[in-house]
């Protein structure tokens, strides 16, 4: 009895791991693997052979290391599957799964990864589901990213890009619970941001894609500096930036910004050609750049890039990239009149492309047949085992269906009786709704006509008032110029002149209050020229207050209504002068940003109080304020400006700090 009990040692009491030995082993293996992964794997074999009895978790770590290599870099699906099965074998017992749910979950997810790469999605989903449940048992919020990232790749490969983006975002957020001081965590997070952008790009949502590519670059620059002192990490960071440049260039090219795309492609190539493992990405970007040049008929540039691509292929060969080079080279030779060479290159391309298609299609057919055989065999076996049970089940189902049919028929009859009573009520209600709809339409038409009449009358009145008010101002000026009036008369005439001048300004604002574009035609407007003209016109006002206007512009064109756009810039600069103190600076910047023209007008003035910020673009009388020298304001300029910019499908907004100044921004789509 004692002998039997002593031999039945519980697996819970077994030593399943030896971290004091293998932690150091894997640390050294990771160091070797930065330069040579096969050498690192050979070192692991030697280290494991030197250890007498490695535990199940010790073996799991080795199998996981080999699995990741063959899945991602070695590109050997059969060996990746072998090591995934080995990981599952080491965690097969219930005791191991309870003590190490994380390792068990990772083993399940690894098996799902291989099935996913084989495009056996229905087989992969159960492993992903069980892996998620195992990881949830650990309570480790960080580790949940393992599941989210794998599911994201499945949806991406199935071309469900919006769903893939959501899971990539979840992966990025889950990683924030991990060790953020780790280079591995940083590198995976920036990769997730790039994947989010790539998913939105594939989904055709270019605005979101651009935003996330820019977020990726900001993230790398913000956190990558902490690791750049290590040469291996520095190369990885540079490679990540190069990949983002190339991807962002694709979006700019789709938006028609060929210059921006060309610049980013060149930067991506320059970065990735310096690396070891990134030359393939550089070759792909060269192919995009050559295509861009061919599309723009820049044949000399295309020829130069194709020569660079050929030299890169000599260093790192690749059949798929070789096929892309032959296709582009054929187009280049054909466009440059080298017909015979072009024909030879076309044949070479077709031959290589056909062989690639054949190689890619054979495994898929074999896999499908195997799946059909397996499913058919399992089905036949199940039919034989359950034959008697099915007969009984069929009889029960038949009785149930018969009763159900009777009940459904009775319910349909009852429903028909009730519905017949309601049909007439519904018809009468529908007639009432139609009558009310007609009345509302008539009321809306009357209101629109009334507004048009009011607008026309207001413009007529404003126009007719302009002449007499201008005459009053002129007469006051003449009387003041005589110099023969008493002090009291001079004071009264100055008040008359000031009041008439303000009235004239208000009349001018009323005349431009209608931002309708009827009767006008859009034209190509050079924004930098219009801005400089506005500054020149308003320079005298600024000089009177000893203000300095700093203008920083780059040539940008937009399709717009010239007079209306000029009015917007005049309003913004005039406001900056009016609400800025003497001796201050006004900075005006025009730049191109993501295919748009952006103008900013920054002052050092009194700022906008919180109470009126939500109403600053409205016609509310509450937004009327006096300038720093008591200048009158009627509160119409910003409302007019917003209506004009929105009519151009642009945006206008502001940033302000009370007592420190305000910056107004205008953004419109730039012309190519």
The secondary structure element, H or E, covering residue 235 is: helix 231-254
Q: For the whole model, what pTM was predicted?
A: 0.48
Query: Which is it for strands 585-593 and 596-602: parallel, antiparallel or unpaired?
Result: antiparallel
| 371 domain-assigned | yes
Angle separating helix axes 101-117 and 121-138, nearest 10 degrees: 160
Tell me the per-residue pLDDT of 459-484, one tens digit each, with 9 for 90 and over.
556 555 656 766 686 777 777 777 77
Angle (CA) 634 639 642, round 5°: 150
Q: Which of 330, 382, 337 is nearest to 352 (CA)?
A: 330
The secondary structure element, H or E, covering residue 261 is: helix 258-272
| DSSP3 helix / strand / coil % (the chain, rounded to 5) | 75, 5, 20
Is 346 a residue whose pLDDT tops 80?
yes
Q: Which of 574, 588, 575, 568 is nearest to 642 (CA)?
A: 568
Q: How far apart are CA 140 and CA 390, in angstroms?
A: 45
Q: How far apart are CA 104 and CA 94, in angstroms?
A: 10
SS3 for 447? helix
Q: How far apart are CA 245 and CA 224, in angstroms?
A: 16
Is the distance from CB of 582 to CB of 628 less than 8 angstroms? yes
| 601 domain-assigned | yes
Domain endpoint, select from 377, 394, 425: 377
The residue with greater pLDDT, 201 or 13, is 201
Calculate the average pLDDT of the chain: 83
| 338 domain-assigned | yes
Number of neighbouring beta carbons within 10 Å of residue 73: 12
86 and 14 in one domain? yes
Q: Quick one: pLDDT at residue 318?
A: 84
407 and 342 in one domain? no
The residue with greater pLDDT, 275 or 614, is 614
Tell me the per-residue pLDDT of 281-312, one tens digit each, with 9 for 90 and over.
888 999 999 999 999 999 999 999 999 999 88
131 and 9 in one domain? yes
Query: Which is it for strands 651-657 and 523-526: parallel, antiparallel or unpaired?
Result: unpaired
Domain coverage including residue 339: 278-377
Is the distance from CB of 285 to CB of 241 less than 8 angstroms? no
* CB-based burial, 372-404: b 16+ in 10 Å, e otherwise: eeeeeeeeeeeeeeeeeeeeeeeeeeeeeeeee
| 450 domain-assigned | yes
The CATH code of the domain that includes 108 is 1.25.40
The residue with greater pLDDT, 361 or 41, is 41
Residue with structure tokens 């004009």? 644
And the tokens for 131? Answer: 């892996």
Residue with structure tokens 């910047």? 589
| 655 domain-assigned | yes
72 and 38 in one domain? yes
And the tokens for 443? Answer: 């009321």
Domain count, the chain: 4
Q: How far apart are CA 106 and CA 111, in angstroms?
A: 9
Q: Quick one: pLDDT at residue 467?
A: 62
The CATH code of the domain that includes 634 is 3.30.565.10
Residues in the chain: 672
Q: Which residues partner with 380 through β-bridges?
A: none
The separation between CA 64 and the C-alpha centre of its own chain, rounded to angstroms, equals 33
Query: Which is it for strands 661-669 and 596-602: parallel, antiparallel or unpaired?
Result: antiparallel
420 and 391 in one domain? yes
Q: How far apart are CA 429 and CA 649, in angstroms?
A: 41
2 and 112 in one domain? yes
| 265 domain-assigned | no
Tell me the per-residue pLDDT of 3-17, one tens digit each, with 9 for 90 and over.
333 444 444 456 889
Tell me the per-residue pLDDT of 543-590, one tens digit each, with 9 for 90 and over.
999 999 999 999 999 999 888 888 899 899 999 999 999 999 999 999
Domain endpoint, select from 139, 171, 205: 139
Q: Which residues partner with 652 through β-bridges?
A: 666
């Amino acid at each position: 009895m004692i002998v039997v009990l002593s031999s039945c040692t519980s697996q819970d009491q077994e030593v399943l791991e030896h971290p004091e030995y293998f932690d150091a082993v894997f640390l050294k293996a990771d160091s070797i693997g930065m330069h040579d992964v096969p050498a690192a794997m050979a070192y692991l074999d030697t280290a494991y052979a030197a250890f007498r009895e490695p535990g199940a978790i010790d073996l799991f770590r080795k199998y996981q290391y080999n699995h990741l290599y063959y899945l991602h870099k070695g590109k050997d699906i059969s060996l990746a599957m072998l090591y995934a099965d080995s990981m599952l074998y080491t965690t097969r017992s219930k005791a191991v799964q309870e003590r190490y749910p994380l390792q068990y979950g990772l083993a399940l997810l690894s098996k799902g990864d291989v099935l996913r790469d084989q495009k056996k999605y229905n087989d992969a989903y159960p492993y992903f589901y069980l892996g998620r449940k195992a990881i949830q048992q650990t309570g480790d919020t960080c580790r949940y990213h393992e599941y989210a990232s794998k599911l994201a790749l499945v949806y991406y490969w199935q071309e469900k890009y919006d769903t893939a983006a959501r899971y990539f975002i979840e992966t990025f957020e889950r990683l924030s619970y991990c060790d953020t001081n780790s280079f591995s965590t940083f590198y995976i997070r920036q990769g997730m941001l790039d994947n989010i952008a790539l998913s939105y790009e594939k989904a055709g949502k270019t605005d979101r894609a651009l935003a996330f590519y820019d977020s990726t670059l900001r993230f790398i620059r913000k956190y990558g500096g902490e690791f750049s002192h290590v040469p291996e990490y520095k190369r990885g960071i540079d490679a990540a930036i190069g990949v983002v440049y190339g991807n962002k260039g694709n979006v700019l090219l789709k938006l028609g910004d060929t210059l921006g795309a060309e610049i980013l492609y060149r930067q991506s190539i320059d970065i990735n050609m310096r690396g070891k493992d990134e030359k393939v990405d550089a070759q792909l970007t060269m192919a995009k750049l050559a295509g861009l040049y061919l599309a723009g008929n820049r044949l000399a540039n295309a020829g130069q890039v194709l020569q660079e691509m050929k030299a890169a292929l000599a260093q790192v060969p690749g059949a798929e990239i070789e096929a892309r080079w032959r296709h582009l080279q054929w187009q280049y030779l054909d466009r440059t009149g080298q017909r015979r060479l072009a024909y030879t290159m076309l044949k070479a391309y077709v031959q290589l492309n056909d062989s690639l298609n054949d190689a890619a299609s054979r495994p898929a057919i074999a896999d499908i047949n195997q799946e059909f055989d397996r499913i058919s065999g399992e089905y036949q076996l199940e039919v034989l085992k359950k034959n008697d049970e099915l007969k009984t089940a069929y009889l029960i189902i038949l009785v149930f269906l018969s009763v159900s049919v009777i009940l459904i028929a009775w319910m349909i009859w009852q429903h028909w009786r009730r519905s017949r009573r309601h049909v007439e009520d519904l018809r009468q209600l529908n007639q009432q709704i139609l009558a009310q709809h007609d009345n509302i339409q008539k009321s809306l038409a009357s209101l629109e006509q009334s507004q048009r009449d009011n607008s026309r009358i207001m413009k007529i009145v404003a126009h007719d008032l302009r002449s007499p008010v201008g005459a009053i101002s002129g007469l006051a000026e003449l009387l003041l110029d005589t110099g023969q009036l008493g002090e009291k008369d001079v004071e009264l005439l100055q008040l008359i002149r000031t009041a008439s001048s303000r009235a004239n300004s208000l009349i001018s604002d009323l005349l431009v209050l209608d931002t309708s574009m009827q009767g006008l035609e859009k034209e190509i407007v050079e924004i930098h020229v219009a801005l400089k003209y506005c500054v020149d016109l308003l320079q005298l006002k600024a000089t009177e207050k000893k203000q300095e206007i700093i203008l920083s512009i780059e040539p940008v064109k937009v399709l717009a209504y010239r007079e209306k756009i000029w009015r917007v810039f005049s309003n913004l600069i005039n406001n900056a002068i009016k609400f800025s103190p003497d001796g201050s600076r006004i900075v005006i910047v025009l730049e191109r940003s993501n295919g748009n023209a952006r103008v900013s007008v920054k002052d050092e003035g009194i700022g906008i109080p919180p109470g009126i910020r939500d109403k600053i673009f409205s016609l509310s009388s509450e937004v009327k304020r006096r300038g720093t020298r008591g200048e009158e304001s009627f509160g119409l300029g910003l409302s007019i400006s917003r209506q004009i910019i929105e009519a151009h499908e642009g945006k206008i907004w502001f940033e302000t700090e009370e007592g420190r100044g305000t910056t107004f921004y205008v953004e419109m789509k730039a012309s190519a």
